[in-house]
Structure 1
């Protein structure tokens, strides 16, 4: 047999193999399937195959594990080629587990770019002249922009490991391909970490008190204002935040009804750009009339604190191959606000990724349903946070608003649910949920 004849036979076999792909070994079932779309595709067999390019139609579908992510979260994408552009062109039966697909998903709309996706090296045997079965590839991307993000199937490649290592690239003839999936991303406000402290907690009318603070916008003009309950007084001053966002400056307090001092950026107070109130008492030094006695007593301010009934939660197990919700209940948290004054509080939580045996479950898979109960007689009323994703950026578990007089005792609970992908490797996965009271 001559070399040319042997090359033709090898070329026929390898060319057919390079186009065979499968759906075997797909990863976890995504939460939301997209729309099947079709697009013209140009596939080029390896040169050694001796076959011409194949122009056909690919049918594909894109699914995501979270169709409504927050900015900063990671979304898992599955690109499934439901029907490749070509069939096995020969009568040769192709063996199992020889093909590894890879490809790109194209992002559009409010966030652009591409997502690299890959599939496992696993396929069923393909009979001669039979249609190629579908195959799936997965990848992830981080949401960086709020709004509507479209996902379209892009180019894909079929790598074969049968006799030789060969690639068959298939490109979208008229890019971009139709949109198969859309996710709607929500912007997460940056937490307000501004804070202030006072040089003294009380003073006579007309005394000056020094206000220091942190985490303001560097270079910003910051207004210092006295508060009488929830109302602003006429006592004001301004300071400028330094390069590290720190402030320091005096404010003279004349109003005898002042109960606190706040600091804020901008033209008027806002919770997102302000800090405080920090409690302050104006001492009434009005002279006592002859023949009279002035009687005084003091109600001392306490602290804002929390305690919890435990530090470990065992979520319910899920089955490999099925996945789903692993549920449990947060250990009850008790908040005591004995500060007095006008300031409310906020209890927030954020969670790490759940790590296990060689794999992880993304922090964005944990959600909660908060509940909050107020003890009778408390001046404030507790408000439960919204049900939804906790994630690494965090969410509000419970809070009370600012008011003329605040405080009380509160009990906070939450139902927990971790969405475990179906084919997560067997084992125990742990994450840390951190609660912050401020």
Structure 2
């Protein structure tokens, strides 16, 4: 009979600690708050009618996004807020409300280069003569084209006023690019394979036909039906054509007595991206025992899915107060043992809490990892490494093994860890809990 498919859920907890050390000072906003407010030198040119020279001052700004963890192809909305402009009202004339229209650029870096054009509404508080321009925000969008960390820095901006005269005050970043205010981590957008098959029976005698029904294949595609013996395709194959709805029903004659499953796929060879299955199938060998012979039978007992880890505490590297940055370390090695047999794969995921410290916290979204996974020689399954990027409170995949005709083996999982500590997080120790779950 076929080995049963069994999934079991395991959870493990790691305590991750980061240190922000040295120096004194206070934090103006909660640690881990995003985005970071940055300041940078700016060169502004007042309107010629003002009769005053260019202004070299400091702009304070921040950037926010509507999605910090997009997929490639997603559109991200960016908001560029100038908290304090380097320029002010260049005239003695008071400016009334709602006459300012700001425009600007946000500079992209890291995994994706370029700029985002942003525009603000025609909306502002009254500005007294020679008074400072009020804070204003501008928005725009960009499409994610590459996976990885994409940095966003404030760029040049222009303040247009429409009152009596149409005037512009352009301001450029003196030493571009300005400091990074926000980072988004993009992941690959992999199409989901929804192809599926069911069998009319789970077993049969050598030479019996089994009905294979499929759905969600490419309409009109030629689909190969094939037997599998463990991880190897057998010589038993048949071909059917998917209808306009991507469905089909066909028969596969199974002669190979070692068959453990049936698959269906598009193209010239089996591919997990364009296939379905394996669906478990057992050939019942009822060949009579010859005279003066004895039929010998043994049983392979299915085991369990389990995990263990080399410790439950990780000490991340210290960072300096006033500088912040990456507090790095390594995940305690996790060993996954899959002794179940059958077609079921597994997935190892993790999620982390906020890091709490001396009256402050660092958001869970600031922790990222770079997974690594190795497979012990001889294992039927192959370990797949999860994507590098943010872990966060919602979690991410550390490693996995796909479903297959016959799965199992031993796997070693590691990951480099990095916590992005804000520059002015109060000095002290910060701790969060990383929970790993195996299913």
Q: CA deviation at 1:338?
A: 2.5
Offset from partner CA, 1:292-327 (integer Å, 9 cap, x none): 4451525357377344679x9787697875364275
In the alignment, structure 2 segments of 5+ residues that lack a partner are: 1-26, 93-101, 121-129, 162-166
Aligned to 2:418: 417
What TM-score, normalized to structure 1?
A: 0.53
Q: CA deviation at 1:136?
A: 13
Aligned to 1:271: 272
Q: Superposition pairs for residues 20-419 of structure 1, below 5 Å?
A: 43=46, 51=50, 71=72, 84=86, 104-106=104-106, 113-114=116-117, 144-146=144-146, 153-156=155-158, 170-171=169-170, 180=177, 187-190=188-191, 192=193, 196=197, 198-211=199-212, 216=216, 219=219, 221=221, 222-228=223-229, 229-238=231-240, 240=242, 250-289=251-290, 291-293=291-293, 295-297=295-297, 299=299, 302=302, 305-307=305-307, 322=324, 324-325=326-327, 327=329, 329=331, 332=334, 334-339=336-341, 345=345, 347-349=347-349, 351=351, 354=354, 361=363, 363=365, 365-372=367-374, 374=376, 379-380=379-380, 383=383, 385=385, 388-391=388-391, 394-399=396-401, 406-410=407-411, 412-414=413-415, 416-419=417-420
Q: CA deviation at 1:367?
A: 0.8
CA distance in 1, matches of 2:400, 2:208: 37
CA contact (8 A) 1:324 1:421 kept: no
Find the residue that maps to 2:206 and give its secondary structure: coil
Offset from partner CA, 1:386-405 (integer Å, 9 cap, x none): 683254684452548969x6
Q: CA deviation at 1:75?
A: 11
Aligned to 1:162: none
CA distance in 2, matches of 1:366, 1:264: 36
CA distance in 1, matches of 2:197, 2:272: 14
Larger radius of gyration: 1
Q: Which has the higher contact order (CA 8 A, sep 6+)?
A: 2
Offset from partner CA, 1:28-60 (integer Å, 9 cap, x none): 8999xxxx9988x65569xxxx94697678999
Find the residue that maps to 2:297 and give its secondary structure: coil
Give 1 or 2: higher strand fraction.
2
CA distance in 2, matches of 1:284, 1:344: 25
CA distance in 1, matches of 2:332, 2:374: 12
Change (3 A) 1:420 1:200: farther
Find the residue that maps to 2:270 and give its secondary structure: coil
Aligned to 2:8: none
Q: CA deviation at 1:225?
A: 1.8
Q: CA deviation at 1:336?
A: 1.6
CA contact (8 A) 2:80 2:106 kept: no
Q: CA deviation at 1:347?
A: 3.0
Quote the RMSD (CA, aligned, Å). 6.5
CA contact (8 A) 1:55 1:85 kept: no
Change (3 A) 1:308 1:271: same
CA distance in 2, matches of 1:241, 1:366: 45
Q: CA deviation at 1:253?
A: 1.9
Q: CA deviation at 1:204?
A: 0.9
CA distance in 2, matches of 1:388, 1:271: 22
CA distance in 2, matches of 1:137, 1:423: 24
